[in-house]
Amino acid sequence: MLRAFSHTNGRCALRHGKRWHHRKSVLAIRREDVNAWERRAPLAPKHVKELTQMGYKVLVQPSNRRAIHEKDYVKAGGIIQEDISEASLIVGVKRPPEDKLIPKKNYAFFSHTIKAQEANMPLLDEILRQEIRLFDYEKMVDHKGMRVVAFGKWAGVAGMINILHGLGLRFLALGHHTPFMHIGMAHNYRNSSQAVQAVRDAGYEISLGLMPKSVGPLTFVFTGTGNVSKGAQEMFNALPCEFVEPHELKEVSRSGDLRKVYGTVLSRHHHLIRKHDGLYDPADYDKHPELYTSRFNTDIAPYTTCLINGIYWEQHTPRLLSRQDAQKLLVPVRSATGAMEGCPELPHKLLAICDISADTGGSIEFMTECTTIDSPFCMYDADQHIIHDSVEGSGILMCSIDNLPAQLPIEATEYFGDMLFPYIEEMLLSEGSEPLENQNYSSVVRDAVIASNGSLTAKYEYIQKLRESREYAQSLKMGNKKRVLLLGSGYVSGPVLEYLTRDSNVDITVASVMKEQLEQLTKKYSNVTSVHMDVVKHEEKLSSLVKKHDLVISLLPYSAHPLVAKKCIDHKVNLVTASYLTPAMKELQESVEAAGITVISEMGLDPGLDHMLAMECIDKAKEVGATVISYTSFCGGLPAPEHSDNPLRYKFSWSPQGVLLNTVQSATYLKRGEIINIPAGGAVLDSVTPMDFFPGLNLEGFPNRDSTKYAEPYGIQTAHTLLRGTLRYKGYSKTMGGFVKLGLINPDPYPLLSSTTPPLTWKELMCKLVGVKPPAEYHVLKEAVFSKLEKDKSQLEAVEWLGLLGDEPVPAADSIVGALAKHMEMKLPFGTGERDMIVMRNEIGLRHPSGHLEDKFIDLVVYGDNNGYSAMAKTVGYPTAIAAKMVLDGEIDAKGMVIPLTKNVYGPILERVQAEGIVYSTHSVIKQ
C-alpha cells in the first residue's frame, strides 16, 4: 500500500495489524517560529494524505509563513488547528520555544543538543522537566552511521545557487561583468527548476565565450560525496561543465577552455596522507586520523576558483584550510604581460568558498561565524584575520548559511518528508508517558531518542557530563574576575600583557622596580594596575601581593624564582615562569605538591618552545614505532643581520647579565655515546662549532648547560648524541673570550662597585683587573690589556669599542659582571626601527622499525617587529601568557612542578603561538 513502508515486511505487517487499534492516534505539525526565513515543514500534504488514509488524525498549526498553503494540507485531510494538545506525536523542523512545550508528549525536531550546545540547554532542561520524549532527526542513522533523515541535498542545491550569485558580485567588484550577474539568490526562485533555467542561461553565455578572458578558466572543487555535494553538483551541471580528476586541476586552471567551467569531486584519498610515509589507508585513517595531514592547501587549493565544502570536521582530523594557508593563497599573482587597466587579472586564484557544512571553526578554520540569508556573504581578509560584510576589498568571498534548505522550502519539505515518513508511524504509536523500554522501536528510531520519561537515555547521558565540564570551565572564567600578578616589566612583559588583557575577565597587577615602564603599561591597558617595588628586597609586600591573586607570572631573573615560589606555596597560588627548573626550584617539589598548586617552568623560548617542538616530533616518532638515536638543538636570539654592526655581533633583547653568565657556565653533553664535560669559567667558548644550516647567516654554536639531563624527561635514553647549544654570529665567542680573560664575567661580589662607595671609572677598574697601578697612561693600560688578551687584536678592539679603557663611570652593581651587563645594555641596545631575530634548529635522528634512518629538521625563525615587540619578547612572552591562560581556564590542572613535555600542554601552545606569528617548519631526510 505504501511505498515508504517497504523497507521491512515484518514491520509493515505489524503496523497494518495495529492500525485500526490506533485509529484515534493524533499527529501534529507544529508552526515554525524560530526564524523569519523558516518556511519549511517536516511533512508535505502528500504525507498527510497517506496518514489520514491510514486512519490517523493530523493537526496542522496555522502559519501564514509556511511556504505550502494551508488549503493544500486541508485538501490532504489535515485539520488546521491552534490547539495541538491531543496529539501524541508533535513534529517540527526546528526547536519550539520552551513555553510552548506540552508535557509527556513525543516530539521530533532538530534539537541541536547532542554536543551540549549552550544555547539549547534550557530547552533540554525543560524537556526533561516535562518528561517529554525527544526524537532528534540528526541521530536517525542506519547501521553504517549514515543519516537517513536530512535536508542535505537541498542545502547543496541552494548553496550552489547562492555562491554563483556571489561570484557574479565578486567578479563585478574586481572589475568584471560576468554571466553570473543574472543568477539570483536561491530564495528568489519559485522552485529549483526556475533556478536551473537561470543557471543554464548563464551557462549559455559562457559557452559563447562571453566570460572575460583575463579571469582565466574557472574551477570548482566539491568536497565530499554525500547528498550535500550531490545537490550542489546537480545545479553545477546546468553550466557547460567538465569534471576532471583532482590531479588534472592544475592544468585546466591554466590552459582550460574559457567556454566551459571545470569541476572536480574531492574524496579523502585525493588529499589525505599519513605524515610519516605519505600514504592513505582508509581503515587506518578511521582509527587514527591524527596521524594524517591534508595536502589540499598545496595540491588543490592553488588551482581552485571556488570551493564548495560539504564535509564536517571532527577533532583530531586534518583541516582543509588554515589561516596560514589562506595567507599564502591570497598572495597576489604577478600580472601577465598585456593585462590592461580595464581588463585586470584576478588578484589570486581562490576567490570564493561556499561552506555548506556551516561548521564554524571546522574544516575551514577561519570560518568562525555563519552568514545569514539576509546577509549571505562576507570577505575574509587573511592578512588582517578579519571578516567584513562586503564583496569588495581583499580576501576570499565566504558564504556559510546554516539554514540553506529554507531558501527552497517546498521541495525541501517534500524531500525531507519522504525520508521521515517511513518512521512516523512507529513514533506515533506510542505515548510519551509510557516507559521507553516498552516501545517496539526500530534501531533507527530508538537510537534517536535523546530524552524520555524525565531522563537522558543511556546513549546520551554524556550530554550532562559535557555540560558540567563546560560549566565548570566557565565558572572558573566568569565566577569572579581572575587576578594575575606579573612580576617584572622588562622586554617580555609586553606580549604577556597584550595576550592576557584580551580577556576582560582578567585583571593584572604588575610589580616592578622600573617606574617609567609601569606608568606606560597602566596607560596602555585599562585592566592593569601597577606597584612600584623591588620584589626581592620587600618580601612581606611580595607575600601580601601574592595572597591577593589567583596566579603569579614571574619574569624576574631565575635566581628570584625560589623566593617567589615559596610565597606561592604559602598562599596556595599557581606560578608560571619562563626560566629553567633549577635545582633550587626542584627542592620545592614536595612543598608544591602538598600545597596542591601548579608551578610551571621552562615556558619561554629556550627553554620552552625547544622542548615543545622536540616532544611533538619525538611523540609522533614513537607513535609509528621509531627510535630516537640523536637529538641536537641550537637556539639563539640575535640582531637581524643588518643590525649586527658591532664587535660582539650582538645586541640585547633580554637580560644582559643572563647572556654574559651563559658564557662561563659549565656544560655537559653526549656525543656518539661519550659524555663530554666542559668546566665552568669560559671553556665553552673554546668548544665553538660553525653552524652552516643557514649559510647566509654565518652562525656559530657552543654547548649550553647539561644536555644529558633531558634524556629521561624526553624519553630518549636510546640516543647516542644529545646536545643543546647556543647560537651566535661568528666572532661572538672570540670576543666574549677576551672579556673572560680580563675577569669581566665574574659574578662574585665586588664591594668597590657598591652604590655606597665612591664611583670607579672603567679605566680605574681595568687597572685593578690587569694589575696596573692607577693612574696610568692610556697607552700603558692598553698595552697591559693587550698582553692579558694574549695579543689578540680583535678582542682589544672590542674592549676599546665598548669604552672599557676610558673615564666613563662604572654602573653601581653587586658584581663586575653585573656592572658590565648594565654598561652593555646602554652600549648595545636595539635602536629605533631595528629588529632582532630568533633562530632555532632541532635535528632529531630516528631509526624506523624497517631499519631505515630519518633525520628530522625543525626550524623556527622569527623576526622582531619594527617599533613593536622583539622576536625574543614574542617567543618568550606568548608561550608564557598562553600557559598562564591555560592554568586560569583549567586546561592545565596538573599539580606539582610542570614543564611542557606532555601533549596536553605543548599541543595547544604550539597551535596557539602560530596565531601570534610564531611559525615553524619541518623537513626530513631519509637514509637507507
Q: Which three cell numbers stand for residue 751?
A: 664591594
**283: how many CB neighbours lie within 10 A of its CB?**
7
Catalytic site residues? Answer: 606
507 three-state secondary structure:
strand
pLDDT value of position 676: 94
DSSP structural state of residue 381 = E
* Separation of alpha carbons 331 and 347, rounded Å: 8
pLDDT value of position 645: 86
Q: Are 762 and 804 in contact (CB under 8 A)?
A: yes
pLDDT value of position 666: 92
pLDDT value of position 382: 81
For the chain (length 928 residues), average pLDDT per consecutive 10? 36 38 78 91 97 95 96 97 96 93 96 85 91 96 90 95 97 94 96 96 96 93 92 96 96 94 95 94 93 95 95 85 89 62 86 91 86 91 74 90 94 96 93 88 96 94 85 57 87 88 87 80 78 81 85 89 91 91 89 91 90 92 92 92 88 76 90 93 90 89 91 92 93 91 91 86 91 86 90 91 90 90 87 88 92 92 85 92 92 90 91 90 85
Residue 474 CB partners (closer than 8 Å, separation 6+): none
C-alpha closest to that of 187 among 158, 166, 157? 158
C-alpha closest to that of 552 among 900, 878, 883? 883
Backbone conformation region of residue 58, classed left if phi is above 0, alpha if psi is from -120 to 50, else beta: beta
Residue-wise DSSP of 555-613 = -S-GGGHHHHHHHHHHHT-EEEESS---HHHHTTHHHHHHHT-EEE---BBTTBHHHHH
Helix H or strand E encompassing 727: strand 721-729
Q: Are 535 and 511 in contact (CB under 8 A)?
A: yes
pLDDT value of position 122: 82
Burial label, 751 (beta-carbon count in 10 A; 0-12, 13-18, 19+): exposed
* Separation of alpha carbons 597 and 592, rounded Å: 6
* Separation of alpha carbons 61 and 42, rounded Å: 13
Output the 3-class SS for 184-250. Answer: CCHHHCCCHHHHHHHHHHHHHHHHCCCCCHHHCCCEEEEECCCHHHHHHHHHHCCCCEEECCHHHHH
Q: Are 858 and 839 in contact (CB under 8 A)?
A: no
* Separation of alpha carbons 648 and 731, rounded Å: 7
**Sign of torsion, CA 545 546 550 554?**
positive
Q: Are 228 and 156 in contact (CB under 8 A)?
A: yes
Backbone conformation region of residue 40, classed left if phi is above 0, alpha if psi is from -120 to 50, else beta: beta
* Separation of alpha carbons 172 and 279, rounded Å: 42
* Separation of alpha carbons 19 and 248, rounded Å: 57
Q: Are 292 and 272 in contact (CB under 8 A)?
A: yes
Q: Are 687 and 771 in contact (CB under 8 A)?
A: no
Helix H or strand E encompassing 292: strand 292-294
C-alpha closest to that of 190 among 509, 500, 408, 17? 408
Distance of CA 45 to the CA centre of its chain: 47
Residue 409's alpha-carbon distances to 65, 91, 107, 155, 412, in angstroms, are: 11, 16, 21, 11, 5
Helix H or strand E encompassing 823: helix 816-827
For residue 467, report the phi and psi dihedrals to the nearest 5 degrees: -60, -45
| Rg over CA atoms, the chain | 35
C-alpha closest to that of 837 among 875, 801, 810, 811? 875
**99: how many CB neighbours lie within 10 A of its CB?**
6
